[in-house]
Structure 1
Amino acid sequence: MGWISAGSLLAWLWLLLGQGFFWRTDVRLPPRTEPAHWPSVAIVVPARDEAEVLPTSLPSLLGQKYPGRAEVFLVDDGSTDGTGDLARSLAATGGGLPLTVGTPGDPEPGWTGKLWAVRHGMALARERGEFAYLLLTDADIAHEPDSLRELVAAARSADLDLVSQMARLRVATFWERLIVPAFVYFFGQLYPFRRVNRPGARTAAAAGGCVLLRRAAAERAGLPDSVRHAVIDDVTLARAVKKSGGRIWLGLAERVDSVRPYPRLAQLWRMVSRSAYAQLLYQPVLLAGTVVGLALVYLVPPVAFFAGLAGGEAVTAALGGAAWAVMTGTYVPMLRYYRQPLWTAPLLPFTALLYVLMTVDSAVQHYRGRGAAWKGRTYPAP
């Protein structure tokens, strides 16, 4: 146990200093100045059974204070709860951006539902004329009135082809407090924002809830057709843009929020497990390595600390405690970002254990033929 805890501590020291400072939360929109000419923007919103959240999110898009031309294209992807009609009624009050509601029909073979809806939304936008940028945003994302303006200013100032913000997810219930900040923390560990934003780095990622994309870059990367099969569409889209020579940027949002509630553990479990095995490319070897790695990094420190204390092994307890302390310290900035009590930071190993179980369950559901299931659709491995 002493050697294992030493290995865990070394892993945490490397994560602290060598993984792009993933634990810092200071990557926000880059410095920006307002352009002399504001480019046109098509806001594409794929929506499937979103009547619960649309009254909060859609008015925030229609109410954008943008100096240039902007239109909203909501794609009702086979909803059964009146999403399309609700969207039209919300826009009927007038005074906001123009809204077009479309229905694409069932996805063709090889397409995921969201990307099929995005494709239809882009086609609707082309019918209304040429747009310089596309804002791809989910139906559960609420934007402050200057959100689009700030995104475009950042993209123009830094000559970026893709600007994405990780929306601040809702944190209100016990399970949301325990799991949601860790979700963003783990995402940053996998895709350190600083590496994503470095032009020469291979790391690429985006947050699908808020992606501003230059139309010319989308055409150069063949989007969305080139990624039509992707379950983790945001990361795959960012890779396609970067691979085709585009410049991308990803950071934390300050004025973009998800309004979707996940009050119960079962809902959060489905949110994570539906794509966890896809993240591992549906490979059992990668699954086994991930489980072992997560156990070494997140579970060994508290186990070694308490086992060392119980068995009188001072070195083991000290090594485990030191690794646990480093882990806790790296989690504190994310808790501050989410305005959560800092006493929950030492609970990260327990949260990591839940993520291990979610990942294993994702693989189990895949082999049962229910993998990547979301809102009545199941997608096989490509």
Structure 2
Amino acid sequence: MTVVTLVSALSLAAWLWLLLARGFFWRTDVRLPAREEPDDWPPVCVVVPARDEAAVLPASLPSLLAQDYPGRAEVFLIDDGSTDGTGELACELARRHEGLPLTVASPGEPPAGWTGKLWAVRHGIGLARAREPEYLLLTDADIAHAPDSLRALVSAAGTGGFDVVSQMARLRVESVWERLVVPAFVYFFAQLYPFRWIGGGRAGSGRGRATRTAAAAGGCVLLRADAAERARIPDAIRHAVIDDVALARAVKGTGGRVWLGLADRVDSVRPYPRLHDLWRMVSRSAYAQLRHNPLVLAGTVLGLALVYLVPPAAVLVGAATGQGTTAALGAAAWLVMAGTYLPMLRYYRQPLWLAPLLPFTAFLYLLMTVDSAVQHYRGRGAAWKGRTYARPDAVPEEGRAG
């Protein structure tokens, strides 16, 4: 057996393991769980951190103000130092659209050790506490909600006893690059954090890896207010660049229950028309996901190459050199890979012929991850909307979570 054949066999074995033993991550049927509407609807406060979001706010904020929620609810938009008139536009939209009451406030610049988004969230939660809500809906300024979104989230949380119910908003898929990159982004996220494992029970319950897996999608997070207080949200995660995953881990670490799934009627309205836009979205946090660890980066690059790049390479090498076994192993791995990608393409209503192109997209993500590390060591890592955040262990002690 040649080295190429052996590597091809390892790639196929990896895909068979991913297919059967990774929480069926490739399935897209994890949607809001069974729910019953309560007799008494609990009060909810919606917190929307926003920085320079005037371009997307007209397509998103009215959907929040128009929520058909039977209980008491109101919206707090926290303007995080915008320079494009985000706060003023929000007030104008509230005047034009009847619905939930809106409060617009600004917390000022974040102190050392805080990301701007979490500093805004902290200010919004502080304002919301005066209303004594039972739930907090943390949602991004680019997320549009169906009219029944809030009542569905609250019903699911109450019925299932969840402290966090989070939906991964359906991202925009219109440009060529969005069609190629966006469904893969969600596919890779689900592979990293299998949704079925996230709702697997309380941490410390002895039910294995499923109970330890925690993640959320920051665009839409319904959080029980007392769970936020127990987990010290957001203070305990104040420096987190990937704040949604950090939030879920903090809640689960204090014994809370977390649920995450795909959304049906919660959509991101933010466009990513060019590859450059998508590249920035991924690379700004990719190295933070790897804990800024060069060894983890090296392992990730090798893993991506083995799993996604070896199959098509084995087919080409096998066909060119007459090594039928190598080509067959590569083709089998490529077939399994494409097959697991089909449900995500269907979810995004994309043509199924994109499935065999997943190795190319994975190669782009590999380059984005490497670029994220390069930008980090150049001092430009985790840069977003004019701010650059240090790695957590570089934050001054007085600015870190206690």
Q: Shorter chain as normaliser: what TM range?
A: over 0.9
Q: Which amino acid aligns with 1:255?
A: R
Residue matched to 2:77:
74
Rounded to whole Å, the distance in 1 between the matches of 2:96 and 2:382 is 38
Q: CA deviation at 1:94?
A: 4.6
Residue matched to 1:332:
342
Question: Is residue 161 from structure 1 mapped to residue 163 from structure 2 by the alignment?
Answer: yes
Task: Please report the TM-score for the alignment, with normalisation by the length of structure 1.
Answer: 0.99
Q: Which amino acid aligns with 2:170?
A: R
Residue matched to 1:304:
314
Query: Which structure 2 segments of 5+ residues have no match?
Result: 202-206, 393-402
Question: Is residue 104 from structure 1 mapped to residue 133 from structure 2 by the alignment?
Answer: no
Q: Which amino acid aligns with 2:376?
A: H
Q: Which amino acid aligns with 1:3?
A: L
Rounded to whole Å, the distance in 2 between the matches of 1:167 and 1:94 is 23
Question: Is residue 281 from structure 1 mapped to residue 309 from structure 2 by the alignment?
Answer: no
Residue matched to 1:263:
273
Q: CA deviation at 1:123?
A: 1.1
Q: CA deviation at 1:306?
A: 1.1
Question: Is residue 234 from structure 1 mapped to residue 244 from structure 2 by the alignment?
Answer: yes
Residue matched to 1:196:
198
Rounded to whole Å, the distance in 1 between the matches of 2:303 and 2:83 is 42
Q: Deviations over 1:74-101 (max 9, x none)?
A: 0000000000000000001252100000
How many residues get paired?
Answer: 381
Question: Is residue 252 from structure 1 mapped to residue 262 from structure 2 by the alignment?
Answer: yes
Rounded to whole Å, the distance in 1 between the matches of 2:86 and 2:255 is 37
Paired residue for 2:21, among 1, 11, 18?
A: 18
Q: Which amino acid aligns with 2:83?
A: T
Q: Deviations over 1:140-175 (max 9, x none)?
A: 000000000100000011111000000000000000
Q: Deviations over 1:6-28 (max 9, x none)?
A: 00000000000000000000000
Residue matched to 1:140:
142
Question: Is residue 366 from structure 1 mapped to residue 368 from structure 2 by the alignment?
Answer: no
Q: CA deviation at 1:124?
A: 1.4
Rounded to whole Å, the distance in 2 between the matches of 1:244 and 1:283 is 27
SS in 2 for 1:36: coil
Q: Which amino acid aligns with 1:99?
A: L
Q: Deviations over 1:48-71 (max 9, x none)?
A: 000000000000000000000000
CA RMSD of aligned residues (A): 0.5
List aligned pairs for 1:345-360, cutoff 5 A: 345-360=355-370
Rounded to whole Å, the distance in 2 between the matches of 1:356 and 1:159 is 38
Residue matched to 1:341:
351
Residue matched to 2:400:
none
Question: Is residue 295 from structure 1 mapped to residue 298 from structure 2 by the alignment?
Answer: no
Rounded to whole Å, the distance in 2 between the matches of 1:8 and 1:159 is 40
Rounded to whole Å, the distance in 1 between the matches of 2:303 and 2:231 is 34
Rounded to whole Å, the distance in 1 between the matches of 2:129 and 2:308 is 48
Residue matched to 2:395:
none
SS in 1 for 2:252: helix
SS in 2 for 1:75: strand
Rounded to whole Å, the distance in 1 between the matches of 2:97 and 2:319 is 67
Q: CA deviation at 1:262?
A: 0.1
Residue matched to 2:204:
none
Q: CA deviation at 1:110?
A: 0.3
Q: Which amino acid aligns with 2:165?
A: V
Paired residue for 1:206, among 216, 220, 233?
A: 216
Q: Which amino acid aligns with 2:14?
A: A
Residue matched to 2:176:
174
Q: Is the 8 A contact 2:65 2:97 kept in 1?
A: no
Residue matched to 2:227:
217
Task: Please report the TM-score for the alignment, with normalisation by the length of structure 2.
Answer: 0.94
Residue matched to 2:51:
48
SS in 2 for 1:92: helix
Rounded to whole Å, the distance in 2 between the matches of 1:156 and 1:10 is 41
Q: Which amino acid aligns with 2:41?
A: W
Rounded to whole Å, the distance in 2 between the matches of 1:41 and 1:377 is 31
Q: Which amino acid aligns with 1:135?
A: L
Rounded to whole Å, the distance in 2 between the matches of 1:23 and 1:181 is 12
Q: CA deviation at 1:125?
A: 1.2
Question: Is residue 318 from structure 1 mapped to residue 328 from structure 2 by the alignment?
Answer: yes
| Percent of matched pairs sharing the same residue | 75
Rounded to whole Å, the distance in 1 between the matches of 2:307 and 2:31 is 28
